[in-house]
Structure 1
Amino acid sequence: MTSQFIEVQNAEMVFTTRKGRFHALREIHLTVAKGEFVTLIGHSGCGKSTLLNLIAGLTLPSSGVLICDNREIAAPGPERAVVFQNHSLLPWLTCFDNVYLAVERVFGATEPKARLKERTAAALALVGMGHALHKRPHEVSGGMKQRVGIARALAMEPKVLLMDEPFGALDALTRAHLQDELLKIVARTQSTVVMVTHDVDEAVLLSDRIVMMTNGPAATIGEILPVHLPRPRNRVELAEDHDYVHCRKQVLDFLYTRHGHVEKAA
């Protein structure tokens, strides 16, 4: 993790609403190295998802520049795959076909159909959904739907995986299991990940760095905390690890003491 892969240079985001101008983000400076796992954490309304959408190219900054792999981000692209809290699967398609749709969009012009099917099956196997290829979304659990959403993103072989609270709507046990699976997947794929979360434990468990946002409006980056925990990580072993507890306390101190109460912090 040596090179700067994502760069956010003095980004500002101002929305025009019926009530006037709303200044969401100000003076955002952030770099993410290739292969790094970065989480964005802060209060509701602090601009975490707005910043993620800027990196995704779903919205453009009011001022400033965003760069990915030495190219300015001006629109969405397959090199930046997004996983939302809502899995966004098409209900009339099978799990396989939901992933295949993305694979065909990215690789359909250059690869034969057999290879596209191989890519699709491999992505679903990677997230433990190889047994449910022909099931439709209503036939699988919420956690399984989210696995398919992650498989769809990974199947595009993105340079950057962007995740907006992907486990926020799941029960605690399912969320913990998918966090562990994500650790394994990222270790295998060496993906560059930027993830929005409200969960302090999730941030410390997964991250190389935690970006802590100040309260909005006109939110900015308050602090960036490096997480120097060796990988692979085991949540049970880390529960009483001094460095883990110290990182967790630093994030909680920022959120509670300096920036008020944050939901789902503990």
Structure 2
Amino acid sequence: MNRYIDVQGAEMVFTSAKGRFHALHDIHLQIAKGEFVSLIGHSGCGKSTLLNLIAGLLSPTEGALLCDNREIRSPGPERAVVFQNHSLLPWLTCFDNVYLAVERVFGAKERKAQLRERTHAALQLVGMAAATAKRPHEISGGMKQRVGIARALAMEPKVLLMDEPFGALDALTRAHLQDELLKIVARTRSTVVMVTHDVDEAVLLSDRIVMMTNGPAATIGQVLTVDLPRPRDRVALAEHPGYVACRKQVLDFLYTRHGQPQALAA
């Protein structure tokens, strides 16, 4: 495998006034360029912690993380994060929220006209071109999340990191945005790491699903390869034997074996 993201024996221990909490133990994970990987597990299993380590928002207690053969020491524009909360600035329009990120990354190298073109292109990509002048309070939750994704994509990141980006949305909006994300990833060929609690979402979107054991000292219990053809259609896959088998394997790990450590499978 081409190790575009390489997590090498990562440990994460948090220290507070209440003592030490061992969040992650001996995490080894390699992700190829252009791969879509989902992290799934019960609450408190360290999924978001692992994502934050890849983002550079946290530093491991032990071990190392590499992106494109460079050690991850801090956040960088090559690794864009989409949080469950869209984190849009309420006083700015949709356009300005995206433009702010574009200007920060490309402002020293490009003219304003080029920056505006990048911003418009990103909003167009997520279907928000008609709402550029609206502010966050004037659009729906799903539309806000689209703008958050547009802001991340506008930075042209090498890696897109998503922390339950659709978790707070209703079922229909979530399904629609999952379908849009499939199309966006196909067009941009982005490397994606996504945290999710949704088994169907993980199977629909992913090339591999990383299943985490229960914490404390959570680790990778199993890695499932989702060998389903792309492009994927949720209706066509609903009764596909491969889809059903993958879904059952994840559910078996999470609820039958209670997320306890299992032999690693690639």
> Could you say which TM-score interval applies, normalised by the shorter chain?
over 0.9
Q: Any idea what the Cα deviations from partners look like across 1:69-96, whole Å, max 9, x if unmatched?
A: 1100000000000000000000000000
Shift of 1:3: 1.7
Structure 2 Cα separation of the partners of residues 221 and 121 of structure 1: 40
Amino acid at match of 2:109: T
| SS of alignment partner, residue 4 of structure 2 | strand
Tell me the distance in 2 between the aligned counterparts of 1:146 and 1:62.
Answer: 32
The number of residue pairs the alignment matches comes to 260
Tell me the amino acid that sits aligned with residue 59 of structure 1: L
Partner of 2:206: 207
Post-superposition offset of 1:259 = 1.1
Q: TM-score, normalised by structure 1?
A: 0.97
- Match of residue 33 from structure 1: 32
Amino acid paired to 1:126: L
C-alpha displacement at 1:14, in angstroms? 0.1
Provide, for residues 208-236 of structure 1, a one-character-per-residue CA deviation record: whole Å limited to 9, x for no partner: 00000000000000000000000000000
Tell me what 2:107 maps to: 108
CA distance in 2, matches of 1:229, 1:203: 12
Gaps of at least 5 residues in structure 2 are 261-266
The alignment partner of 1:4 has SS state of coil
Write the distance in 2 (CA, Å) between the matches of 1:210 and 1:161.
16
Does 1:224 pair with 2:220? no
5+ residue gaps, structure 1: 262-266
Amino acid at match of 1:116: L
How far apart, CA to CA, are the structure 2 residues paired with 1:249 and 1:18? 41
SS in 2 for 1:232: coil
CA distance in 2, matches of 1:88, 1:82: 11
Letter in 2 for 1:136: R
What are the residue-to-residue correspondences of 1:84-103 with 2, within 5 Å? Answer: 84-103=83-102
Structure 2 equivalent of residue 196 of structure 1: 195
Q: Do the aligned residues in 1 keep the contact of 2:101 with 2:155 (CA within 8 Å)?
A: yes
Structure 2 residue matching 1:121: 3-state secondary structure = helix
The letter of the residue matching 1:175 is R
Cα distance, 1:260 vs. partner?
6.2
Shift of 1:17: 1.7
1:79 corresponding residue in structure 2: 78
Counterpart Cα distance in 2 of 1:47 and 1:85: 16
Amino acid at match of 2:111: P
Q: Runs of 4+ in structure 1 displaced over 2 angstroms?
A: none
1:264 aligned residue = none
Counterparts of 1:223 and 1:63, CA distance in 2 = 22
Counterparts of 1:220 and 1:174, CA distance in 2 = 32
Q: Do the aligned residues in 1 keep the contact of 2:41 with 2:259 (CA within 8 Å)?
A: no
Query: Could you tell me whether the CA contact under 8 Å between 2:7 and 2:64 is conserved in 1?
Result: yes
Structure 1 position 127 matched with structure 2 position 126: yes
For normalisation by structure 2, the TM-score amounts to: 0.97
Question: SS at the partner of 2:96?
Answer: helix
Write the letter of the residue equivalent to 2:6. Answer: E
